[in-house]
Amino acid sequence: MGRAPQEMFPIFILLLLLSLLESGAAAAGGGLDYHEALNKAIIFFEGQRSGNLPSSNRVTWRRDSALSDGSFQHVDLVGGYYDAGDNVKFNFPMSYTATMLSWSVLEYGRKMKSLSELENARDAIRWATDYLLKCAVHLSAGRLYVGVGDPGQDHLCWERPEDMDTPRTPYWVTSHTPGSEVAAETAAAMAAASLVFRRSDPAYSSRLLKTAKQVFRFANSYRGSYGDSLQSAVCPYYCSYSGYQDELLWGAAWLLRATNDLRYLKFIKKIKVNGLPDLFSWDNKYAGAYVLLSKWAVVKKDGRFNAYKEGAEHFMCAVLPKHLSPASTTTYTPGGLMYKLPEYNMQYVTSITFLMTTYAKYIASTKTLFYCGDNSITRHTLRSQAKTQVDYILGKNPKRMSYMVGFGEYFPRRIHHRGSSLPSTAANPSHLSCNYGFEYFYHTSKSNPNILTGAIVGGPTIRDEFIDDRMNYNQLEP
């Protein structure tokens, strides 16, 4: 079963919802409960947990799993998150998810606290960073672990994580087999998270920041693509097509924010950028780095960062609809959804729209605007466009389908997800073998027995069409 790369979509819907709630857009939601959607977006992460689950885990059909991860190499790699609908842990997208979740807390932590969601968000971050710290335990010996599980074998089986029997092979990069993309993203995740825990857990924050610096040094000192080093262990699933320069930029930007050490700014200035992006994803971080760095120019009026402000605004002009920006390179469906690529399009919708809302926040703080051609773009322009995308995802679309599982009455019932589509161990404690899952559950039209609350699926086609079929992984995998 082939599949294209993707990520944990709910992180971005979570960020978008926070932005809309903070800006007061919830009052104009037209019957959509943004707070409910926010709560469910965070719950999703609990459904993706690997390892020893706490009694507080709110996805009650999940149980402990993969408790021996790393044992082949005599290292503890238990924990972290499973990727999408699979039982593999890919550190590259997982680290990116942790980075973005930390960014959400840094930008909207007060709003999260007022909605009693801040601790849940911190728990979601810590579940990832605890695992990532384990992966860096042998860094002094020149080894960084970057994933667990054989993706080829995993795709040949349809099993619950609780009783899977596919190989739990650990993968790592070294000075001789480098992986600058995944290492720099791991550093970014730790640096961003160190800011989240700086007040609530100073010791943990210090440990994260110290490790982030070490991992970033490793990423930069031993340059090379982890796809070249690990090949079939990560490709075609999470090959990095944009190279590793964007991750080095991204990682350095987060370390600059966490430390205010100007050596990172000098490093950032030396990175060459090839072209101007119109995508932001687990693979291509340029636009995210531009928006992150633009805060110094927009909010702090620091001229050293003007180039990143310009890059951020060029990106906004490239992704807004044509009637707002003549320079747009982005297609929209007849129903109004941003459409970038046919495979798992919703990941681009949510990630790009998040950057819109974040940049809107920055320019709102200084009451500034920018231009796309002759059209003035204000914070209201960006927030309005973001709200359109969120509302489409939550059900205001031609299909009247909520693309968030468990939100509203009409949402996907047959998502491409192993744990959700198979009976829980509580409902059926017998071991379900590799092929049994395919025969009796995957290849059926039955609705999934377990609701993966908060999951965002791949989404509709360029014509707003959607088929709720488990085998349709481009549209149904979370």
Catalytic residues: 416
Tell me the CB-side half-sphere exposure of residue 383, using CA atoms within 13 A: 21
Considering only CA atoms, which of 347, 341, 353 is closest in space to residue 381?
Answer: 353
Backbone angles phi, psi at 145, to 5 degrees: -75, 140
DSSP 275-325: S--S--SSS--HHHHHHHHHHHHHTS--GGGHHHHHHHHHHHHHHS-TTT-
Q: Do residues 178 and 222 make contact, with C-beta atoms less than 8 angstroms apart? A: yes
Q: Do residues 442 and 476 make contact, with C-beta atoms less than 8 angstroms apart? A: no
* Gap between the terminal Cα atoms of the chain: 16
Q: What's the CA dihedral at 277, 283, 287, 290 to 10 degrees?
A: -130
Helix axes 91-114, 180-196, angle to 10 degrees: 20
Q: Do residues 132 and 145 make contact, with C-beta atoms less than 8 angstroms apart? A: no
Q: Do residues 225 and 180 make contact, with C-beta atoms less than 8 angstroms apart? A: yes
Residues facing 370 on adjacent strands: 377
Q: Do residues 75 and 141 make contact, with C-beta atoms less than 8 angstroms apart? A: no
